[in-house]
Each structure stands twice: as C-alpha cells, then as structure tokens.
Amino acid sequence: MIRISDIQSADELLPARMLNEFVYCPRLFYLEHVDGLFAHNSDTLEGAARHSRVDAKSDALPTAQEAVQCESIHARSVTLSSEQYGLIAKLDLIEAEGDLATPVDYKRGAPKSLDDGSLGAWDPDRIQLCVQALVLRENGYRCDEGILFYWATRQRVRITIDDALVAETLAIVAAARRLMDARQIPAPLVNSPKCPRCSLVSICLPDETSHCRAYVACEQSEQTQPGGRWVQPLLFDVGYPAANSESIESAPVRQLITSRDERRPLYLNTQGNHVGISAQVLKIKEKDKLIQEVRLNDLCQVNIFGNIQLTTQAIGALMTADIPVVYFSYGGWFHGMTQSVGLKNILWRREQFRQADSNRFCLQLAKQLVKGKIRNQRTLLMRNHVEPPEQALQFLKALTIEVRRAESLAELLGVEGLAARVYFEHFNGMIKVGSDDDRPRQQNGKHEFRFDFERRNRRPPRDPINALLSLGYSLLAKDLTIAATSVGLDPFLGFYHQPRFGRPALALDLMEPFRPLIVDSAVLSAINQRMVTISDFVVVGDAVALTANGRKGFFRAYEQRMDQLVTHPLFGYRVSYRRLLEVQTRLLARQLMGEILEYPVFETR
C-alpha cells in the first residue's frame, strides 16, 4: 500500500494540480500557492462537483509487485508521491494490466483541436498527466501513456509519456520551485483570453494591474539612481527589484469583474430582536414571533445595531458562509466585527507593516488620498450646490496643489482641515429642502430642528445633518474594514491615520476620497429626497440622534448610493460603489506588493 494522503509532510511536495496551474498562468500559481488565495467560479465549482463523484470512493492501489499477479486493476482516486522529484499527485483513475499502468485524468471542458483537425490535449493537462506518470513510475509501475478524458465532449485523448515530455515537465517543476523561492509575483498576462475564465480574475485584476504599471518592475538593478530618473526608493528598502522608467504599452482594460456585488447587506436595527438559524435561513424573531426570514445566500454582511441577540449557531453558519458580522452601538459607533478565519496571504500583511514604517511611503500615499478627497469634495459642490461658490471652488483647487508640496503628515493634515472647513461652509447650499417646505415643528416643548448646517461636529453630533454624517462615516468605515479584511490586509494599520487603539486606521485612510462621494452624497439624497425627515430626529442628552425609523431611511439612502454604478476614470468600465471599494483596496495591495508605483485614487469626473 502506497497511499500517503495522511502524511503531514506532503506539504513540501508539489502537487500535480499546482503544476497544471503554473502552466496555465504562473501568476495564478503564485496567487494560489504562495499567497494562499482561492476563489471558486463556475468552472472550478463544476470541476469540484464532477470530482466529488469520481472521488466518492478512493481505492488502494496494489504495489507493483502485487499487481503483476493481477489480471487487471481499476483503482480510483489514488494519491501517490515521488520523493525523487518532490511531487505528489492525486490520480482520478488508474487502469493497470500487470505492472503496466495508465493514468486517466478527468477534465471539464473540451479537448483542444489541433491544426490538422485531430484532438489534442491542453498543455497544462499534458504536464499534469506526465507528473502522474512520474509518480507511478517511481512506485514501481511501468507507464508509457496516459489518458485525458474531457467531460464536455466525453472524449479521450491519449498522451505518450516520452522523454521529451518528461524533460519538459521536469523543467516546469524546476521553474515553479524557483518562482516559489523568488517570492516575486509574476506580472499578469496581457490581454489574455485565459483571464476571463480564471477563477482568481477578480483578485488578480490583470488588466487593471497592467494598466497601472506605468513603470515596469522587472530588472534586478542596483540601488543607484541615475540622475533625473525617478525610481521608487521604497522598493529597495524591502529588497525588491527596482522599477525602471520604461512605460509599457497598455492594452484597453476589459471588464472582467461583475459590476455589482451579487449579495446584499443586512441591517438589524430593531432592539430586542432575536436571530436564529435553520437550514441556511436566518430567522428573525420579535419576542417569539417570527418577523422575517433571510437566506444566507443573499447576504454579504450582517450589521447589528445595539441590543440584538444572535445565536451561536447563527454566528457559526454566518462564519461558514464567510459572511462577516459587524457590531455597532445603538448610537451607531462601529465597535468591531466577527469574521471567519481563512485568510492566508500573510505576505501581504507583512508588506503592509513594512511599508507603514516608511515615512516616505506613508506621505506619498497620504498625499494621494487627501488630493483625491479634496477633488471629490470640489466635484460634489460643483454638481449639487444651488449656486456653486466660485471662490471656494478655486480655493479647493489651489489646495490640491498645496497637497503636493506638503512635506509631512502634519502639514497634510493642516491642508486637509482647511479644505474641510471651506467645503462644509458651503455644505448647506447643497441641501434643497428649504425651511419653508420643512418647517421645524415645535412639538409640545420638544426640541426644534431644522436641516440647517453650520459646521461639522461629531462627538456628539449636535444637529440632524451632523448626526447623519457621523452615522454615514461609521458605515463607510465598516465597509472599508470589511474590504481590507477580505482582501487580506490589516484594517487597523494605516499609513495616513496613525495607529490608535481600536481605530481601523487603514479603513479610515482608504475612505478619505470616498467620504464626499458616498456618505455626503447619501446624506444629501436622504434629505433632499425626504427619505429622512425632520421628525426622524430626537435629542439624547446633548446629542442629536436618529430614531429607529430615521435610521432605516438613512440605511436605505446609503445602500442606494453603494449600489449605484459609476464609471471608473482609469479603467473606463462601470461598477457599483460597493464593488469599487473592493477594487480600490486590491489596488492598494498591489502597490504594497510593489507591483504598481502609485495608488490610483478614485476621483469622479
């Protein structure tokens, strides 16, 4: 018996399946096996479903000596390894006559049709099959050919395992090992038809990454910077190959990601509710009365405001489905979240921590973020103000230039604060419910409100608009915390916002340019479209807060904004804001890993 599926050290052996991916695309191999990222798409799911039927029962393969006595052998789902080459393979089916074995590998899809019209095998499949032959040989069998069975057309393709194929395979094994050791992610394929079919396309962002690589980081060059040539110094700090200033021809960016997230957030807002689960459906109860059922399949996140009970079983099911649960105080402070384990790409977080120690990196990124924020504030004023204030717009424009000159984070903070003051001075001009149509009502001695904004105040918010803004920023911080976490970065270590206990500094960094575009804009629609009205506010102590009903209205306004499609200025395709947050966070990870030199901040046109 030569099954080794239980042996721990199998880690060090290269699985045949990985080599298949290496041949398909080295970057895919790297993302999956060095960074530990994985995602399903329809192809991999279909493959997994097929395999689970093939694998349903795994057989023991007799040793080659025993096999000689047998007439013929059919063994399914056998795992074998080769010490000599450091390989391991799971074989779908082995057909053997005596000690002459033929591996049969099942593939979804159709065989390749060759120029002469005959059927052939795809390169990744040939190499994977050859690895299977090599492990069989090392286990004492003779193996001269293998068979690839393609499900889509139910056709078999025979492959001769000759010296040339073995040499080709061993060269690929060596190349894959070199790549694992090099710890340098290969560049994405350019305009390749493989990408749309690749399960990691939304993680890899091939066209977007290529597009952002205005400079190529390819040659291993020494630390000197020839006069005038700007080379990102940070890459040297961490021993990365230098960037050279050659620009690459960039192909048009294809939209390979879906424009919207398929799943929706759930907000639990009614105090005292109780949430359990049964068969993948959340049961939301008030006292003992069932008030709503929500399918896990429909959800991307669960937000809990205040006093709501979630059973351990429900949390467990949410974690299994990879749906984060986020906790807010009743008043809307973002407290924390529960998420499943499972992010393995530790190398990215290591890079994040390294870069956070570099002042130059922090300043460079912070400038981008602040510039983007000020530009977006300006755009919002231009678009929504009843009478766009020319002087303020000019001033904001001047400040974006000022940003470029800033030499420290403190200086940058000053410029940002100045811009915020000017912007919020004119915020009122974007509110289009005049006091005429929404007269503040004096409700038997109760506080009198109006939608009238003077300045931004937060702890606590002292008027309705500030209450909405505070809640909105809390929601946005939550969404970027989730985005950072799902990408595999640490939400608590930022570059512009310095670390402080309990503060999701990276999320706060990332949200800067989005504050006006998502939150401020959602607040304006909530008020202007009367999704929230004056009667939705109450005074609690010295703070102004939303009623449960008002909060519902604002959640809706915020989510409507998140769901809205917007054109990406760099890539030219349309995605929802929610999707955009993820794309932008991934681009930051690309910069951290040294693939692109500058974080492309999102600015609307």
| 3-class state of residue 9 by DSSP | helix
- Number of shown-chain residues binding another protein (CB under 8 A): 37
What minimum distance in Å lies between the beta carbon of 321 and another protein?
10
Q: With 0-12 CB in 10 A as exposed, 13-18 as middle and 19+ as buried, what is 445?
A: exposed
Stretch that binds another protein, among 297-305, 374-382, 443-451, 501-509 (CB under 8 A): 297-305
Q: Which does 28 bind (CB under 5 to 8 A by kind): another protein, ligand SF4, none?
A: ligand SF4
- Angle at which helix 409-425 crosses helix 359-384, to 10 degrees, equals 10
Interface mask toward another protein for 441-460; x: CB under 8 A: --------------------
Q: Does 281 bind another protein (CB under 8 A)?
A: yes
The tokens describing 57, both together, are: 């029962």
Stretch that binds another protein, among 121-129, 185-193, 289-297, 596-604 (CB under 8 A): 289-297
Question: Rounded to whole angstroms, how far apart are CA atoms 15 and 91?
Answer: 11
Q: What are phi and psi of 449, to 5 degrees?
A: -115, 155
What minimum distance in Å lies between the beta carbon of 195 and ligand SF4?
3
Q: Which is nearer to ligand SF4, 207 or 536 (CB)?
A: 207
- CB proximity list for 459: less than 8 A, separation 6 or greater: none
Q: Which is nearer to ligand SF4, 210 or 564 (CB)?
A: 210
Question: Rounded to whole angstroms, how far apart are CA atoms 266 and 182?
Answer: 43
Q: Which does 257 bind (CB under 5 to 8 A by kind): another protein, ligand SF4, none?
A: none
The tokens describing 411, both together, are: 């200086």
- Positions that interact with ligand SF4 (CB under 6 A): 25, 27-28, 31, 188-189, 192, 194-195, 198, 200-201, 204, 206
Residue 62, number of CB atoms within 10 A of its CB? 17
Q: Which does 27 bind (CB under 5 to 8 A by kind): ligand SF4, another protein, none?
A: ligand SF4
Question: Rounded to whole angstroms, how far apart are CA atoms 450 and 535?
Answer: 10
What minimum distance in Å lies between the beta carbon of 203 and ligand SF4?
8
Residues 531/537, Cβ–Cβ less than 8 Å? no
E runs forming strands in 48-126: 72-82, 87-97, 100-107, 112-113, 119-120
Q: Which is nearer to another protein, 45 or 401 (CB)?
A: 45
Q: Which is nearer to ligand SF4, 561 or 579 (CB)?
A: 579
Helix (H) or strand (E) holding 85: none
What minimum distance in Å lies between the beta carbon of 498 and ligand SF4?
34
Question: Which amino acid does the sequence have at 132?
Answer: Q
Distances (CA, A) of 457 to 420, 461, 467, 544: 12, 5, 9, 11
Q: Which is nearer to another protein, 15 or 47 (CB)?
A: 47
Binders in 546-575 for another protein, by CB under 8 A? 552, 555-556, 559-560, 562-563
Residues that bind another protein (CB under 8 A): 40-42, 45-46, 49, 52, 258, 260, 262, 264-270, 273, 279-281, 284, 291-292, 294-299, 552, 555-556, 559-560, 562-563
